[in-house]
Amino acid sequence: MPQLKLKKNEERRLLSGHQWIFSNEIEFMEGDPKNGEVVELFSYNNNFLGKGFYNKNSLIAYRQLTNKDEEINKAFIFKRMSLANSLRKRINPERETYRLINSESDYLPGLIIDKFDNKFSFQIFSFGMNEYRDTITELLKENFRAELIVEKNNNELRTLEGLDKTEEILFSHKDPADESFTCEIDEINYDLDLLKGQKTGFYLDQCESRVLLRKYIKPEYKVLDLFCNEGGFALNAA
């Protein structure tokens, strides 16, 4: 496996929890890894630091996946997805609509997955994670009862990684495929279209903020919601 060796003391940020290595922090490279390939990372003193994705065309040359010497494969991705899901269910066991994967926060760098019950939208913005695009689709179908999977790879960060932008329905149990549906989120029904919606289709990372708004609104208040997208804040203020 190709190896990267860091310049002296450049591992300090990684050891404190940061998961990126920039191209100017690398002393030398052993082997000739392709963009997106998994490589091993070592300190200047030859201490093993982990495995991650390499991209020679990006300022972020290395994205850490693990600090262990373990195989990076379908089983690894599934383990990460399962752990992320169990953490969210522990916080709110009844909730079925949430951000399943939040990139580096769930140790799957460059991957966002939003879960709308059994419908999913994902976005990839790292070259290495893009190599696992089909694997991610398979895992959602096999282990998360996916009835709809939409790829929303329209992020400008893909350009920086050397990736094309793509948006399409990868899987649907309906024929013909239909990316629009009604979804209940915090007691409000939203008509969603994951292909036409911004980013991953709906701002699931703002659910708590929308609900929090309710406690500050009184019946006599008038609320103006500018640039309201699907109207999530306005509906929670109503």
- Domains annotated for the chain, with CATH where assigned, are 3-66 (2.30.130.10), 74-237 (3.30.750.80)
The pLDDT assigned to 193 comes to 83
The pLDDT assigned to 191 comes to 86
Q: How far is CA 141 from the centre of its chain?
A: 17
CB 63 within 8 A of CB 48: no
Q: Which helix (H) or strand (E) holds 161?
A: helix 157-161
Q: Rg of the chain over CA atoms, in angstroms?
A: 20
76 — alpha (psi -120 to 50), left (phi > 0) or beta?
alpha
CB 62 within 8 A of CB 21: yes
The pLDDT assigned to 201 comes to 66
Q: Average pLDDT of each block of 10 consecutive residues along the chain (238 residues)? A: 97 95 96 96 97 96 97 98 97 92 97 95 96 97 95 90 92 78 83 78 80 85 78 80
Token digits of residue 154 = 């329209």
CA angle 193, 204, 206 (to 5 degrees): 130
The pLDDT assigned to 78 comes to 98
The pLDDT assigned to 113 comes to 97
The pLDDT assigned to 176 comes to 66
The pLDDT assigned to 1 comes to 93
